């Protein structure tokens, strides 16, 4: 599907204008991509409406490359929807900072507690882990093993005490021992139920945590949203940790969870190992959800190559017939970065109509040769190709390791191009007042 999406967006590339129908078509694909990535239906609808509104408006129509602009809007909006900036943990003014880990059974709470302790320790903090899951067999042992692996102390009172008491004692212990962060691992159930919520609320009242982090399994897709909604309503979450993103999920849950609960995603789990907890980056997730890593590099490329100022300067040169071999070479180098020359031309303002013209279709293989030829010219020759007589052409061919025919062909191409520009300039002069895309 991501291929189809790309194809739809590609179609927009290099067009002079983007019509509402174009955007609509692209949005259909984006919509499918989102749904397939398990993004909540309502979220998708709102998102699409918003992008369409932005994309069909001025912003796109005025831009140099409407296709890229649409991609950019989609990506920006996705990123914004997921919080835009990276969201960090809140630390207490007066330590210890108390962090409660909550979530369903198997989501990855205990593992994440260990991973987080490791991260915090690396930031020179002194965490204490508190074993608050007294129900699941071996849960305490699991936390103790993790604590040993990351070199962080674990506070436990066995499985006979109430989790509320354990949490309170754990915080007290942290104060005694000078630990500045307390991570409380709690018990989950297979489904959201009232007994679990009641217990978590009690713990919350008792220890007044600075962070309540919900751990959710990204693989559960839509369910993750319901779970997050429930936990948020019952407890008031401060953040979400999305685990198991190393699986083949597109991670649409990230988008939905944030959109539905408005809780920032603070970390993502990328594997079973202890070093696989990472801060959440909205922009990376945006491209993952759309499955458009390539499209992002495309945007970057387009932005680099179609530097607006350069394009304008070039256009001015064309109009005033000052286009030289240096400019030509610069263009060729951009072609190298970009892809086919005619596509590049499509991005230069006013050049869209030259697309597909025969003499402009330079074979990629020839590019190196062309470059060598131009580099063998003197500055004077590059500025004034008319002085390129037979002996100069021979010298250039020798210097560039090409043949005189190659040199002749290039000069012919260049002259053709200039001629075309001249015609084109004459053609558009009358219509200049007509605003692009207006």
Give me the least distance between CB of 147 and Mg ion, in Å please.
13
Q: How far is CA 334 from CA 69, 294, 340, 352, 410, in A?
A: 19, 18, 10, 16, 18
Query: Of the two residues 18 and 235, which places its CB atom closer to ligand GDP in the complex?
Result: 235
Angle value at C-alpha 218, between 290 and 84, nearest 5 degrees: 55
Residue 110 is labelled as binding a ligand: yes
Beta pairing partners, 102? 214
Question: Are the beta carbons of 288 and 82 closer than 8 angstroms?
Answer: no
Rounded Cα gap, residues 202 and 416, in angstroms: 81
Query: Of the two residues 267 and 328, which places its CB atom closer to Mg ion in the complex?
Result: 267
Size of site (CB under 6 A) for ligand GDP: 18
The site map against Mg ion for 104-143 (x = CB under 5 A) is -----xx----------------------------x----
Rounded Cα gap, residues 221 and 333, in angstroms: 45
Query: Of the two residues 77 and 133, which places its CB atom closer to ligand GDP in the complex?
Result: 133
Q: DSSP string of 208-249?
A: --SEEEEEEEGGGTHHHHHHHHHHHHHH--SEEEEE-TTSS-
Give the range of 23-31, 99-107, 194-202, 355-363 binding ligand GDP by CB under 6 A.
Answer: 99-107
Residue of 54, 118, 244, 393 that binds ligand GDP (CB under 6 A): 244
Residue 9 is labelled as binding a ligand: no
Residue 105 touching ligand GDP (CB under 6 A): yes
- Classify residue 356 as exposed, middle or buried by CB count within 10 Å of its CB (0-12, 13-18, 19+): exposed
Residue 159 touching ligand GDP (CB under 6 A): no
Phi, psi of 277 (to 5 degrees): -105, 125
Residue 180 is labelled as binding a ligand: no
Residue 188 is labelled as binding a ligand: yes
Residue 97 touching Mg ion (CB under 5 A): no
Rounded Cα gap, residues 375 and 320, in angstroms: 24
Q: Which residues of 204-216 are buried (b: 16+ CB within 10 A; e: fewer)?
A: bebbebbbbbbbb
Q: Are strands 265-269 and 239-243 parallel, antiparallel or unpaired?
A: parallel
Residue 261 touching ligand GDP (CB under 6 A): no
Choose the one of ligand GDP, Mg ion, none that binds residue 118, judging by a C-beta under 5 to 8 angstroms depending on kind.
Answer: none
Angle value at C-alpha 52, between 47 and 57, nearest 5 degrees: 140
Residue of 66, 83, 96, 103 that binds ligand GDP (CB under 6 A): 103
Q: How far is CA 287 from CA 33, 44, 87, 382, in A?
A: 11, 15, 18, 43
Rounded Cα gap, residues 408 and 274, in angstroms: 64
Give me the least distance between CB of 276 and ligand GDP, in Å please.
6
Choose the one of ligand GDP, Mg ion, none that binds residue 271, judging by a C-beta under 5 to 8 angstroms depending on kind.
Answer: ligand GDP
Residue 266 touching ligand GDP (CB under 6 A): no
Residue 192 touching ligand GDP (CB under 6 A): no
Give me the least distance between CB of 293 and ligand GDP, in Å please.
20
Query: Of the two residues 18 and 268, which places its CB atom closer to ligand GDP in the complex?
Result: 268
Residue of 109, 204, 288, 355 that binds ligand GDP (CB under 6 A): 109
Where is the binding site, in residues? 103-110, 185-189, 243-246
Binding site for Mg ion (CB under 5 A): 109-110, 139
Where is the binding site for GTP, in residues? 103-110, 185-189, 243-246
């Amino acid at each position: 599907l991501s291929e189809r999406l790309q194809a739809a967006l590609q179609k927009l590339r290099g067009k002079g204008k983007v019509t509402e129908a174009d955007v609509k078509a692209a949005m259909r694909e984006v919509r499918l991509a989102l749904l397939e990535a398990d993004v909540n239906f309502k979220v998708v609808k709102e998102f699409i409406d918003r992008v369409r509104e932005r994309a069909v408006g001025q912003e796109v129509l005025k831009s140099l490359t409407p296709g890229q602009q649409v991609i950019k809007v989609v990506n920006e909006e996705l990123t914004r929807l997921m919080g835009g900036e990276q969201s960090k943990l809140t630390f207490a003014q007066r330590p210890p900072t108390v962090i409660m880990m909550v979530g369903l059974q198997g989501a990855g709470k205990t593992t994440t507690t260990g991973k987080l302790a490791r991260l915090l320790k690396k930031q020179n903090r002194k965490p204490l882990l508190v074993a608050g899951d007294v129900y699941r067999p071996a849960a305490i042992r699991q936390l103790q093993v993790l604590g040993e692996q990351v070199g962080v102390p674990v506070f436990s009172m066995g499985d006979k005490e109430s989790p509320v008491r354990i949490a309170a004692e754990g915080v007290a212990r942290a104060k005694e021992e000078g630990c500045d962060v307390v991570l409380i691992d709690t018990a989950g159930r297979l489904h959201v139920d009232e007994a679990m919520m009641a217990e978590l609320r009690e713990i919350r009242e008792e220890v007044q945590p600075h962070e309540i982090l919900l751990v959710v399994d990204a693989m559960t897709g839509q369910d993750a949203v319901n779970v997050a909604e429930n936990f948020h309503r019952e407890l008031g979450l401060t953040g979400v940790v999305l685990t198991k993103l190393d699986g083949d999920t597109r991670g649409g849950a990230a988008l939905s969870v944030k959109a539905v609960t408005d809780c920032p995603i603070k970390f993502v789990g990328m594997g079973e190992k202890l070093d696989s907890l990472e801060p959440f980056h909205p922009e990376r997730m945006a491209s993952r959800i759309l499955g458009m890593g390539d499209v992002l590099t495309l945007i970057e490329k387009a932005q680099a190559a179609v530097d607006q100022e350069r394009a304008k300067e070039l256009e001015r040169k064309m109009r005033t017939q000052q286009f030289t071999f240096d400019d030509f070479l610069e263009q060729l180098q951009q072609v190298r970065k970009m892809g086919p020359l005619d596509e590049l031309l499509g991005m230069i303002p006013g050049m869209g109509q030259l697309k597909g013209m025969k003499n402009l279709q330079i074979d990629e293989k020839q590019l190196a040769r062309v470059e060598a030829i131009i580099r063998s010219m003197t500055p004077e020759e590059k500025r004034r190709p008319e002085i390129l007589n037979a002996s100069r052409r021979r010298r250039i061919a020798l210097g560039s390791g090409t043949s005189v025919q190659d040199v002749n062909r290039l000069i012919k191409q260049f002259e053709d191009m200039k001629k075309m520009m001249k015609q084109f300039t004459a053609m558009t002069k009358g219509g200049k007042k007509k605003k692009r895309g207006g």
